[in-house]
Amino acid sequence: MRRQHQFKFKPTVVFADVEKILQISLFAVSGIYGHAAVRLHVSYERDAESRAITIDTSSAIGEDVARSFTELLTREVGEAGFVVSMIDDGGDDPDWPLEEASVP
């Protein structure tokens, strides 16, 4: 079963800053699980036009990236700057992973 969390951002939030926050989250989680585990178990999609980032949270590592990302976003842009929703498609997506996690 594929589970994802989608983060959507208000127009007042600079999307480039959001992308940097995601990279920090990936780096932080790699400190716990290791670089290889993050690359193997975390996928995400960035959509600047829709102002959204979707993280695959099917694995514990993906969940931890989403948790870290949520915490950092709350501190940096505030709770009012974004919304997050869970997407559960109930099946395998042949196009997944959308983008491999790259730890800085």
| Residue 97 belongs to some domain of the structure | no
| Residue 42 belongs to some domain of the structure | yes
Share of the chain above pLDDT 70, in %: 84
Picking from 55, 56, 47, 44, the residue whose alpha carbon sits closest to that of residue 92 is 56
Say how far apart CA 38 and CA 85 lie, in whole Å. 22
Residue 97 is given by DSSP the state -
> Which pTM value belongs to this model?
0.83
| Residue 39 belongs to some domain of the structure | yes
pLDDT value at position 90?
A: 59
Please state, rounded to an integer, the average pLDDT across all residues of the chain: 88
Q: Is the pLDDT of residue 97 over 60?
A: no
| Residue 95 belongs to some domain of the structure | no
> Domain of 23?
3-88
pLDDT 10s digits, 28-72: 999 999 999 999 999 999 999 999 999 999 999 999 999 999 999
Domain tally, the chain: 1
- Please give the structure tokens belonging to residue 92: 């395998």
| Residue 104 belongs to some domain of the structure | no
Q: In sequence order, what are the residues at sequence separation of 6 or more whose Cβ sits closer than 8 angstroms to the Cβ of residue 95?
A: none
